[in-house]
Amino acid sequence: MPKIDHDTKQKILQAAEKVFHRNGFKGTRTTQIAEEAGISRTMLHYYFRTKESLFQEVLESTLSLVFANMKRLIGQQVDLETLIGGIVEVVNDLFEAKPGLPSFIINLFNESEELAYFLAHSQEDTIPFQLDEILKQEKQTGNVGEEVTGEDLIMNIYGLCAVPYLTMNYVKAKENRDDEGMKAFIRQRRDKIKAFVLNGIRP
């Protein structure tokens, strides 16, 4: 039995991510992933016995990196404006590197209740609770509205950052933008998103 090779495993994960984003979970076959990775289907199944296990590892590797970066920002104990700006940058960097991710996740919610549940519980996401503690202090000084929660904050940031990717083809056609023009447009939105989120939590 061959040894597990880290480079081969990473190649499979990268190929799987591309194919999942392109075809969705249900529309993806392991044969397609093997072809994308340039390996045999037998080799693919040696590393990952099922499509589900491969999907789960792809998703976990993405989420763990995002959560780690967010927790690092929270641990720096910066002011709220800097923290929100940092989280917006983390989420935008993720979507810029993986532009197919927002639509893939939306489709996943519609494709499989079981996989949607896995997505929601695949990481111990304590970030909303950590943000609640920060917001509690800001509320005491009157900087944040009493109704605002950490969950609100995260959902607003994810939503605002994801919309350009979910509507990319429409915006490109309507505004006659090429790929580079679209990338520039999305980057310019970062500061607008930060300001919009901050204004939305003020009392």
SS (H, E, C) 6-46: HHHHHHHHHHHHHHHHHHCCCCCCHHHHHHHHCCCHHHHHH
- For residue 147, the one-letter residue type is E
Contact 15, 31 (CB under 8 A): no
Residue 81 structural domain: 58-201
Q: Do 80 and 29 belong together in one domain? A: no
**Same domain for 100 and 35:** no
Which pTM value belongs to this model? 0.84
135 and 182 both lie in a single domain: yes
Give the model's pLDDT for residue 123: 56
Say if residue 140 is in the same domain as residue 45.
Answer: no
* Residue that the structure tokens 């930060």 belong to: 194
C-beta atoms surrounding 174 within 10 Å: 9
Boundary-marking domain end, from 9, 29, 49? 49
Same domain, 86 and 5: no
Is residue 67 located within the same domain as residue 120? yes
pLDDT digits (tens, 9 = 90+) for 14-52: 999 999 988 988 899 999 999 999 999 999 999 999 998
Do 39 and 93 lie in a common domain?
no
| CATH number of residue 140's parent domain | 1.10.357
- How many independent structural domains does the chain possess? 2
Residue 13: give its domain's CATH number: 1.10.10.60
Measure CA of the first residue to CA of the last residue in the chain; give whole Å: 63
In this structure, the answer to whether residues 75 and 9 fall within a common structural domain is no
pLDDT digits (tens, 9 = 90+) for 145-198: 999 999 999 999 999 999 999 999 898 888 889 989 999 999 999 999 999 999
Distant-in-sequence, close-in-space partners of 128: CB < 8 Å, separation ≥ 6: 149, 150, 151, 153, 154
Are residues 186 and 123 part of one domain? yes
* Same domain flag for 111 and 159: yes
Residues 37, 78, single domain; the answer is no
Contacts by residues 147-154 (CB-CB < 8 Å, ≥ 24 positions apart): 148/201, 152/201, 153/84, 153/128, 153/197, 153/201, 154/87, 154/127, 154/128
Same domain? For 17 and 77 the reply is no
